[in-house]
Structure 1
Amino acid sequence: MAATRKIDWTAAMHELRGSRTQRPAGFLAARGLIAATSAKRRPLVVAGTYDRAAIMSAAVAAAKVHQARTGSTWSEAMSVALKATWALAKAARASCAH
Structure 2
Amino acid sequence: MASTRSLHWATAMKAMQADRAKRPVGLLAAQGLIRATSAKRRPLVVAGAYDKAAIMTAATAAAKNHQARFGCTWGEALSVTLKATWQLAKATRAVSVH
Indicate whether the TM-score tops 0.5: yes
CA–CA separation in structure 1 for the residues paired with 2:87 and 2:9 = 34
User: What's the % identity of the aligned pairs?
Assistant: 63
Superposed CA offset, 1:25-58 (max 9, x none): 000000000000121x210000111000000000
Structure 1: 5+ residue stretches without partners: none
Coordinate RMSD, CA, aligned: 1.4
Shift of 1:71: 1.1
TM-score w.r.t. length of structure 1: 0.90
Shift of 1:6: 5.0
1:12 aligns with 2:12: yes
Letter in 1 for 2:32: G
Structure 2: 5+ residue stretches without partners: none
How many residues are treated as equivalent by the alignment? 94
TM-score w.r.t. length of structure 2: 0.90
**SS of match in other structure, 2:17:** helix
Which contiguous aligned blocks of 4+ residues in structure 1 show a shift greater than 2 angstroms? none
